Each structure stands twice: as structure tokens, then as C-alpha cells.
């Protein structure tokens, strides 16, 4: 399995993913990696129903993703991993799945979150996970669309959180 893109976007599969990101690289499979989505059949069905017809799509738990990554069955797949939060990425990396770069695309605003950009708001737990990912040397880039200027998300995060 070749991980072409690891992206945090709590909307998962939507217009930007379908029209821009999937066409950027030779994606053959979209995998939503989320324990909460994997165990919610209705939510999983709704999310996967909008996947493009020419790309396989699945929603799996972090543990199942670790097994899939290590399975020879998926050796020829070029995948886009979609995450809801940085905690799931950290969990996956700590379990041995190599991710060197994460695109931070969208994390909606909620009551316990601090807004970092128009599209990204973070909770204290998110900040802790981003700090650990940064310590592991994982590049955290901020871009909504592939054509946007690539920004250092971690630098942006530290600027906003330390105010």
C-alpha cells in the first residue's frame, strides 16, 4: 500500500476531495480512518455513498487500518487516508504505519475549540496530538485545495495557541 495523501477533513468525502485531491495523485482507494465512523453503520454508509465510482472507498478503525497496511492484499493500492482528527493519525503512526506528511484541510468549529484558520479549529486534545506529530517529524501542511499555497500548519497553530 502506498499512502499518496493523509488528510484531516472532518467532512471526509466532498466536492474538494472528489474534484481536486483524488485527481492530484493516482488514487485507487479512499480509506476513512476513524473509530467513531467505523462503528456507526448509518454514518459510514452516508459518507461512503458519495465516493467516486472509479475509486474504492472504505471506512475502518485505526486497528483495522494497521492490519490493512500490513496486508499484502493491498500492496498495489495507492490510497488517500482521510481522518477526522489528529489523534487518529497519531494512534496510527504509533502503531507502525509510516506517515511523513499530513494535509490539514478542515476541522469544524465547536464550543471547546479555538479557531486557527477559517477552516480549522482545534481542541486541547487536538493540540496535544499535533504537538506529538510534530515531535515525530511529521510535516503538517495547511491547504484547502492542491493549488493553494502550502503553509506550515504547525507554525500557524503555535502562533494562534500562544496568544
The grid coordinates of residue 139 equal 510535516
Q: At what angle do helices 153-161 and 124-135 cross, to 10 degrees?
A: 130
Q: What CA–CA distance (Å, rounded) separates 9 from 66?
A: 20
> For the chain, how big is the Rg over CA atoms in Å?
15
First to last CA, the chain: 41
CB 74 within 8 Å of CB 84: no
Between CA 81 and CA 23, with CA 79 as vertex, the angle to 5 degrees is 100
Report the catalytic residues: 14
CA 153 vs. chain centroid, Å, equals 14
For 31, the 3-state DSSP assignment is strand
Amino acid at each position: 500500500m502506498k499512502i499518496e495523501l493523509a488528510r484531516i477533513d472532518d467532512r471526509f468525502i466532498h466536492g474538494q476531495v472528489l474534484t481536486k485531491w483524488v485527481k492530484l495523485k493516482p488514487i485507487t482507494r479512499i480509506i476513512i480512518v476513524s473509530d467513531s465512523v467505523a462503528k456507526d453503520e448509518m454514518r459510514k454508509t452516508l459518507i461512503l455513498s458519495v465516493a467516486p465510482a472509479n475509486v474504492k472507498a472504505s471506512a475502518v478503525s485505526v486497528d483495522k487500518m494497521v492490519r490493512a497496511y500490513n496486508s499484502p492484499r493491498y500492496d498495489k493500492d495507492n490510497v488517500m487516508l482521510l481522518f477526522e482528527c489528529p489523534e487518529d493519525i497519531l494512534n496510527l503512526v504509533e502503531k507502525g504505519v509510516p506517515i511523513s506528511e499530513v494535509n490539514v484541510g478542515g476541522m469544524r468549529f465547536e464550543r471547546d475549540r479555538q479557531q486557527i484558520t477559517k477552516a480549522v479549529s482545534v481542541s486541547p486534545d487536538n493540540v496535544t496530538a499535533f504537538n506529538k506529530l510534530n515531535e515525530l517529524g511529521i510535516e503538517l501542511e495547511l491547504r484547502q485545495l492542491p493549488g493553494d499555497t502550502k503553509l506550515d500548519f504547525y507554525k500557524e497553530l503555535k502562533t494562534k495557541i500562544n496568544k
